[in-house]
Structure 1
C-alpha cells in the first residue's frame, strides 16, 4: 500500500493536471473567483446521539455551480436531520493541480475527508492508490441502469465501481449559421447523419477564406487535458485505442496504425490551413471561424456573443464516437461511514440533482431519466448533445497510468498539429508509457 501511495503522489505531482469537463472554466483552464464561501458549518443535533457527520471536498468552479452544490447538500441535511449531516468544506481554488495537491497532502497526513469530487479520467489513479473505495454494494442495480453508460465507464476500475457523476460532457461540431447559409451547406442534425472525415475536411477547406478559418480546435487551451478530451475520438472512430484491452501495454496501440492515421488526419487539417495553431480566444464566437469542435460551454459563450450558431455531431472515420467525462463523487478509504456517504452520493446524482445542475451549468445530465424530462434536449441544437451522450460517448482510458498517458497523447496531438511525423512521435512515447504501466502490472 505504501508503495502504491507513493507512486500515486509521484504521478500527480509530476503532471500538471488540467481538470476537465465539469464546466466551461474547468475544460478551458480558466477560473472564476468564488465570492461566496459562506458554507453553513452548523451541525444539526441528534436526538439519540448517533448523528453521522461526513466531510465533503469540492474544487472551485464558478459561483453559481458551487452554490448549487452547497444548496443541495443543505437539502440533504434537512431531509436527514438527526441521521446524517454533510459538511462541505470551502471550495479549493483549482489552479493547475492545486486540488489534487490538497488531496495528496491530506493523504500523507491521514486526514482525507469522507467524500471528494474528482475528475472522471483520474478515477483509476485514485482507486489503484487506495485513496477511494468501491461502492458497488451500496448502489442499487435499478439506480445504476439510469446512468448513461459513459458515467459507469469512467467510474469503474478493475471491474468495480468507484464513483458517480451528476453531469456528463461532450464535444460537438459547432457551426456559424450565417456562413453555412451563404455557402449553401446543410449541417447534419443527428449521429446517423454525421460527416465522415473526408466530408468534414472538404467543408473546412471550402469555408476557409481571408475572413475566417474553416475550423477552430481551441488550441489556445494549451497542451493538456483538452487535447486528449477533444482529440481521442479521432482515434476511437478510426477503431483505434491507446492501450491494450487488459491495460498492460501501449505498444501497438498508442503507436498503432489506427492512432497514427488519426493523427495524420490532424496533421492534414493544419497543413491545409483550415485551422490555427494559436487562435484568438473568441475566434469562433466572433465569426472568424466557420466551425469549432468545442464543449457545452461554447454554446454559452457563443450565445453571449450574439452568434447565430448550430451544433453537429462529431465527424467520424469508421464508427461514430464522442468524448465524455466530468467531475464525479467518490468515497474515500478514510471514511468510517461508507453507506451514509454512498447515500449522499446517490442524492447528489439523482434525477433532480442532475436536472438542476444541468440548468445551472449547461452541461448534459448523467441520467437518462433527466434527459427525458428536459424538453430542451429534444430540440436542436441540444438534441445533438443528447444523441452523442446516450449513443456515442466513450470514457477516456481507465488506467492508473492515466496522468502520464494523457500528457503524452496531448503532446503527440500538438506535434502532429505542428507538422511532425506522428509515427515517430508515438513510437518515442510508448516506452515511457509502458514503464509507467509496469508499476501497476503485478
Structure 2
C-alpha cells in the first residue's frame, strides 16, 4: 500500500526576474474549471517583473484577437504566493492552463495537477525547444511543461575594476577561473572595490529560499557532487565533495557585500556579482562597455551553471478541451511570441529558431555564453565534465529537497559546521521520501 502523501513546503520560485511581486491583476474571469462549452480557457501566471507581466498580457490579447474559437482569460497571482496557491488548489479547481517554475513541475505532475503535453502541443513546437527547456519540462519520459525561455547563471564583472586589479576576465567555459584563482581574485578585487567587498552573491535574496539552491548547486556540481542519487540524499548530499565545496563557498563571506541597497554592482561598489541573465538590462545601462559576462568558477569538474525557469502546463480541468489549451500554448511558443517575451525580460529564447535570431544570445552577441551553456544541458543525476547547464532535481519531492538544503545553506553561511548541516538536511530529505514511498507513481 502506498504511504499517504504528506504536505510539502512551498518552493519560493525563481523566474526570469527576481523582483517584488505585483498585486493580483488582470483577473478577467472565473478562477478555474472546465469551460469547454463556451470556448473559454482560464490561464494562471505569476506576476514577476512588470515588463514581463505586460508582455504576457499583450500576448494573451493577441491570441484572443487572432481567432474566434477560444478566449483566454488571464489571472496574475503575486509571485511570492504563486506556488503555494497551486498547491492549495484542488485539481478540479485549477485553470485549464497554468504557469509554473520549472523545479515544481514534477511535484504538480505527481499530484495529478498536470497532464502530458504530447498530443496537446504540436509536435513542431515540442521539437523546436532548446535542450534546457526540454530537460526541465520532462518527467518520467513525458513532457509536462513547455517554456518560452530559459535562464542562465553567470559571473558578471566590472571591467574597469578588473583592469585596476590587473585581472583578465575569462569569456568561455574553457577559460573559467579555477576555484583557487577565484579565491585569490576576490581578495585582490576587494582592495579596488569602493565598498571594500569584491562580490555580491545575492545574500539579500535569502540563501534559505530558492535563490540559495539555484546559485550554490553549481558549486557542488562543479566539485563532482550532487543533491540526490537514486532517490537518496544520505551519502550524496552530505558527501565530502559537497562539504568541501560549501566550505569554500562559506569562506567567501569576508569578500561578499550583503547588498542591502539592492544596487551594489551596477553602482560600481563591487567588482563582481553572481546572478542571472535577467539583470543584463540593468547592468548594461549602468556599466555599458565596462560590463563583462564570465563563467562561474571551476571546482574541478568543469564550470557549471543552473537553469530552468517559468514554464507552462495543462491541467486536468482541460480534459475535453485540450485542443483549446493546446492552441493557446502553440501561440505562446511561436518565435514571434517568444521574441515579445524575451525583449521584456532578456531571457534565453526557448526555441532553437528564436535563439538563432536573437540579438543578445546569437553568435558573437553579448550573452552568447548563456546560450552556449544551455547547449550542453543535463540532469543533476548525470553531471559530466562536458555538461555545463544543470537542471535542479526533477522529482515530486523537490520542495522538501530545496527547503532542507536551503536551511542548511543559511546556517552554513552563518558559520555552522558544514558536515553537520548537510547530515541533518540529508536525514530530513530521506525521511520525507520514505514517508511518501519514494514519490513513486501509483
After superposition, the C-alpha distances for 1:217-256 in whole angstroms (9 at most, x for unaligned) are 0101112000111111111112211111x3x211111111
Asked whether the 8 Å contact 1:215–1:274 carries over to 2, the reply is yes
CA RMSD of aligned residues (A): 2.5
Provide the residue aligned with 1:345 in structure 2: 329
Distance 1:277 1:64, change over 3 A: closer
Provide the residue aligned with 2:232 in structure 1: 249
Q: How many residues align?
A: 415
Provide the residue aligned with 1:401 in structure 2: 397
* Structure-1 separation of matches of 2:18 and 2:420: 34
Structure 2: where are the runs of 5+ without partners? 31-35, 377-387
After superposition, the C-alpha distances for 1:112-152 in whole angstroms (9 at most, x for unaligned) are 11011111110011010111111123345443332122212
Task: Please show how residues 266-415 of structure 1 align to structure 2 within 5 Å.
Answer: 266-270=249-253, 273-276=254-257, 280-306=261-287, 308-317=290-299, 318-336=301-319, 337-377=321-361, 378-391=363-376, 392-415=388-411
Provide the residue aligned with 1:77 in structure 2: 64
Normalised TM-score (structure 1): 0.87
Distance 1:153 1:424, change over 3 A: same
Q: Tell me the secondary structure at the aligned position of residue 68 of structure 1.
A: helix
* Structure-2 separation of matches of 1:52 and 1:32: 29
Normalised TM-score (structure 2): 0.87
After superposition, the C-alpha distances for 1:368-424 in whole angstroms (9 at most, x for unaligned) are 211110133234531222222333222111111111111222222223322322111
Asked whether the 8 Å contact 1:174–1:309 carries over to 2, the reply is yes
Q: Tell me the secondary structure at the aligned position of residue 172 of structure 1.
A: strand
Tell whether 2:2 aligns with 1:21. Answer: no
Distance 1:104 1:275, change over 3 A: closer
Give the drift of 1:71.
1.9
Provide the residue aligned with 1:114 in structure 2: 96
* Structure-2 separation of matches of 1:63 and 1:294: 19
Q: Tell me the secondary structure at the aligned position of residue 126 of structure 1.
A: helix
Provide the residue aligned with 1:31 in structure 2: 21
Q: Tell me the secondary structure at the aligned position of residue 300 of structure 1.
A: helix
Task: Please show how residues 130-141 of structure 1 align to structure 2 within 5 Å.
Answer: 130-141=112-123
Q: Tell me the secondary structure at the aligned position of residue 399 of structure 1.
A: coil
After superposition, the C-alpha distances for 1:86-120 in whole angstroms (9 at most, x for unaligned) are 2223x1223x3x22333244317x32110111111
Provide the residue aligned with 1:171 in structure 2: 153
Give the drift of 1:52.
2.5
Off by >6 Å, runs of 4+ in structure 1: 1-4
* Structure-1 separation of matches of 2:258 and 2:423: 23
Distance 1:80 1:396, change over 3 A: same
Asked whether the 8 Å contact 1:218–1:279 carries over to 2, the reply is no
Q: Tell me the secondary structure at the aligned position of residue 181 of structure 2.
A: helix
Structure 1: where are the runs of 5+ without partners? 42-48
Give the drift of 1:3.
7.9
Give the drift of 1:428.
1.3
